[in-house]
Each structure stands twice: as structure tokens, then as C-alpha cells.
Amino acid sequence: MNYETWRKEKAIEFKKEIPRQTTINQEMYCLRRVFSEVAVTHGFISKDTIPDIPYIRLPKDQKHRRDDFTAKEWEELEFVLLRADKPLQQFGKNTFLAVGVCI
């Protein structure tokens, strides 16, 4: 079973809305980055053992992009980032929030 199928089945099992394909792609992107940039960098795995996590291509008409942050969302995000112990950690050229969320 692949991640996409597992993710959709879990959503149904927990009576949640099935995630959009773009959401699943974003989650898979984060997983690829965790393996390639964090796990390898910190020596948990070698480059040879990074799992192959495919990217699912979508036609442009099926892609969904989140709207920009509202003013309130931006203020809340800014509040958290400015007060975090480790606001941002740099791994190569890509940045992760201290809590591990891909951006």
C-alpha cells in the first residue's frame, strides 16, 4: 500500500474529509525532505537508503493553492516565530520551522 492510499483510507476510517491530491503531494514532499535533508544530514540513514517517494503529477486545472494568509493568521504566525526558542533552523538551502513543518 502506498502513502496516498493509506492517507485516504485513514481519513475515511476517522470520518474525516478525504484530503485533496495537492495536500497529499505536499505531505509527500515534506517526507522526501525529512529523509534527504534531516535524516541523512544527521546520520540516521545514508543517501543509499532514502526511500523512493513518488510525486504525483496533476493537471493544472486540478491543482489547488491555499489563499494568502489573512492579516490575523499572519499576526499569529509572526507572534509564534518571534517568540520561539529556535525560530528557524537552517538545513542546506531549505528552511524548516523549529516544530518540523515544511515551508
> What are the tens digits of pLDDT across the range 80-90?
777 765 545 54
Checking if the pLDDT of 99 tops 50, the result is: no
Which residue type, as a one-letter code, is found at position 17?
E
pLDDT at 53: 86
- Report pLDDT for 18: 93
b/e per residue, 51-78, with b = 16+ CB within 10 A? eebeeeeeeeeeeeeeeeeeeeeeeeee
Domain ranges of the chain: 1-58, 69-103
Q: How confident is the model at residue 97 (pLDDT cuts 50, 70, 90)?
A: very low
Residue scoring higher pLDDT (7 or 22): 7
H or E segment at 88? strand 88-91
